[in-house]
Amino acid sequence: MDPLNPPPAPVPVPTLAGPACTACGEPAVVNWLRRPTGAEVADAIAAEEKRREDLLLLADQQLPTPEFGPLPTGNGMTRSVYACATHAITLDAASRIHASSCMAPDPAVLPGCDCTPEVQAPTPPSDSVPVKLPEHWFPATDGQA
Ligand SMILES: [Zn+2]
Ligand SMILES: [Zn+2]
């Protein structure tokens, strides 16, 4: 091999930015939430325990020992599931939180899924006073209203 003329370096494969579809690996365009599995909850608890251990090791001995709240539980915890346009579930299903066992996006049952997703509690109305728009901002009804 000629050391002065090395072969051209292989062109690096561009890495995809952002999440990929769970089913096929294409860039994701939609996502929804599901509950974490037992293993994911255990991971989250282990990570929090490690964080606390590290904080205690680094803590200033002159100061009171840091107080920590209760360890996380699976309650309220969610995981994002990503899908491309081909493997997207329905918009209605994507607006809900799916079971930890949900296999979506599962091409066998798309655009549905194999769990009964939770209905999320409606967001409470904000306290803000509704603004009154000018009359001429409303579309003309042409007497057909
Ligand atoms: Zn896909
Ligand atoms: Zn589901």
Owning domain of residue 67: 30-114
pTM beyond cutoff 0.75: no
Mean predicted lDDT score pLDDT of the chain: 87
Q: What is the pLDDT of residue 92?
A: 94
The rounded distance, in Å, linking the Cα atoms of 106 and 114 is 8
Q: Is residue 44 part of a domain?
A: yes
Structural domain tally of the chain? Answer: 1
Q: Which residues surround ligand 1, an ion (CB under 5 A)?
A: 21, 23-24, 26, 84, 86-87
Distance 126 CA to ligand 2 centre (A): 30
Residue type, position 107, single letter: P
Distance 39 CA to ligand 1 centre (A): 25
Distance 76 CA to ligand 1 centre (A): 27
The enclosing H or E element of 30 equals strand 30-34
Distance 28 CA to ligand 1 centre (A): 7
**CA angle centred on 39, ends 35 and 41, rounded to 5°:** 55
Task: Give the pLDDT confidence of 55-73 residue by residue, as tens digits.
Answer: 999 998 898 888 899 998 8
Residue type, position 74, single letter: G
Q: Is residue 126 part of a domain?
A: no
Ordered per-residue pLDDT tens for the chain, 145 residues: 566 776 777 766 666 578 999 999 999 999 999 999 999 999 999 999 999 999 999 998 898 888 899 998 888 899 999 999 999 999 999 999 999 999 999 999 999 999 999 987 666 667 777 888 888 888 776 655 5
Q: Is residue 6 part of a domain?
A: no
